Structure 1
Amino acid sequence: MFNVKDLTMTTRPRFTIEPSSQTLAIITSPHQLTVQFISLQSSFDSFTVSASDFNSSSPFTSVCVFQENSSKELFCTLANLDKALYIYDIQKRELINELRTKKRIMASLHVEQTHKLYFADKFGDVWSLDEKRMREKPPMEKPKQQKGKKSRDFAHTDDNDNMTLELGHLATLTDMALSSDGKFLITADRDEKIRVSHFPKTHEIWSFCLGHKQCVTCVAEVDVPGTDSRALVSSSLDGTLKVWEYSNEYKPLRFTHTVQEGAYPVLVRSLGNFVAVCNEKANEIQYFALHENYELLPLEGVKLNLHSEVLHFEFVQNGEYLMVLVADAPNVRVYRVKKQGENVNPALVFEQDSDKYDNVTHVSFELKADSDTYISSMKKANPNDLAGRHKRGKDDEKKEDEKKEVEKEETVAQEAAAEEKALEG
């Protein structure tokens, strides 16, 4: 059994897109047990893989589509709640490797300049996996086979050096992004901190962006108009959006916008100097504009109202389109984004003008909103108890592992007793 709070805490983003091939992967179904692959360039037919294809019943928590540098073939990494990491060949539609991670993966990122995959985990560490090593099968640990179940081999990062530790926080990581110039890796955590690390030498810290009072939910780079600079916008469960001049290592905070009372921003995406924001359990996306003085102000009258809860959204095709995933069918919506001076006007291209997106706009998933909210799982119970909460998280993880070990021992004992009884018979 899994904890719904853990599930809701680890299911953002719900989809990812590979830029050059325009390949989309969406975590679908009420319990996040399937992933839908869609090609926006119609290079392959839409298809679905499920957890059962990998002999698993654990929900997926993170997905990342990427193009391998050497072969230019499309692959996908899929992580689940049971700490499994699957490497999947999209074009051949086959599993090529399966790894076991030390902790649950919260976010995944592929970086073309290093030809590596980066994974942020539940306990604050970021690990990297080189493309060249993603097919390597390290020494295997074979779990004891249960009756009626197919035996599987698992590769454990504890037992091999497939993955490299890049950096660490003291709290669960919630988001990870690479700066547009490729010089910084930006990581956000549950304990209000945003770390800016040199890239690819991630052990070298450039700065911390400190000022949020609750969990940081999302980070995104945004253009500063009239300059060649980029700022960082962060959202938090403290009900604020903050703008950071993160290149300033001493006083990075430039502006704070407080959203309406009772609202909690959880997802932020940027397009030029425009910022799109979605609040928890909201059925609308609000637009903001960043100004030269680093003020982030809402665009009056510019809101994208949808028919149900927004689960995730991304700008695709170099910002020409906005793709939105919502809780109720039709679940995938595509909007053409029109910039009009200092405003944006998203126009739905769902049925009409949809030749390029025909296989997207006619996809209908059966999704339901999670019963427990993202907020309840991420909000701090006691702002002054950071170390204590981190310790409790470790204790919970330990108890979970101990429980699994006990269940495993009980199963082995039952099988032994059954075999002994059969021999006596």
Structure 2
Amino acid sequence: MTLLRDRRFRLLWSGQLLSNIGDWFLLVAVPVYVFGLTGSTLGTGLAFVTQMLPALIWPPVAGVLVDRMDRFTVMIVADVARAGIMPLLVLADGDRLWLVYVVLLVQASFAQFFLPARQAVIPEVVGRGRELERANAWFSLSSGLMRLAGAPLGGLVYAAAGFHAAVLADSTTYAISASTLVGVRALSRRPGCPGPGPVAPAPGPGQAAVYLREAVDFLRGHRVLSGLLLVSAVFEGVDGALNVLFVPYAVHTLGSGSGGVGLLFAALGVGFLLSAPVGRRVAEARRLRVGLAGCLAVIDACLAVFFHTHAFVVALVAMGIVGVPGGAFALVVQVELQRGTPSALLGRISSAFAAGQMIAALLGATLSSVAVRPLGLTVVADAAMVVLLLGAVGAVALLPAGRVREKADPARRTRAHPMPATPPGEADAPG
């Protein structure tokens, strides 16, 4: 419980928990509202695609800015902007449906700047020692809670008070998150408190390419992180492919209606909720080859059961178990990314991971959608599981066999500010 005694971490975690609750409200409310206005699955699907597009456009720019600006300021500006833009959704109606897509596009664009900044801020707040696993376990716990409770809460708000109430609730949570971040930033600037070092000036257009090349060179020379990027991309690609198949299989083969689909998602949420302590233990062991390959193998086995059973109870248990290694896998990747990347590069490397994973997810979803009609759902699911098994083999081949050496954290050792962002070519060497 040491982390909870740290006021900075309490503010950061609680603000993000509230913000995630608001996001789940919109995750439920927007597709229901759009479908009610249009009666079109195409219009509803376009709302999801609109939120994905920024992840293909902004990561290179976002990563550079996050590494060359005050990261708390980036997060605060992103939250304030989203708190201001979301209420425009209340103006959307049948004649102004385009406003929904514009607002979602802007909101998702600011998220692409917020997320790598948060990824980089966590080790600034807790250091890169044992507390890093614990901090990410707390964030994983909050993610599991939101998976389990966020959608039902969002549905209740929508049913009881309507779309406008859900929108205003989401906007309010962004404002609260911004206020907590202001508090974390103020505490981090106190004398003797470890936090971000001096801020380097934002790059000009010509410099941005140099900074991106520096990040690419770092990844190419870092065996652990380059291997993690490839393995996590395989995981996200398979996840994207199977997400396309999940609901049709549940409805047509398992014979479950919307209530049954909801139970399956709830079981997955329970698994993610339980994954936090498991992921923390795997991360603390720092045996990536064994830990990640084991997670992928268990996921593969559970998915094989899910897509080859006609018994709903068996499928429900399999889906619940999948969430445990799935959440643990994500936690371990995040911890190793934060620990293995120098602070001066963490924004760019985080954005590279996010972009690679999103591209893989979209590719997997596209291929699955195209292949399911000529090949059949079970064949496509089996092919995806073979790819995931190859990902487990890749983890064994690409990652080190023994314990991953922990990088020293001068900020935690000396209780002084960490090294400031360095100019291109002067970042820490790959460890």
Of Structure 1 and Structure 2, the greater helix share is in 2
Give TM-score scaled by structure 2 length.
Answer: 0.24
Give TM-score scaled by structure 1 length.
Answer: 0.24
Structure number with greater CO (CA < 8 Å, separation at least 6) is 2
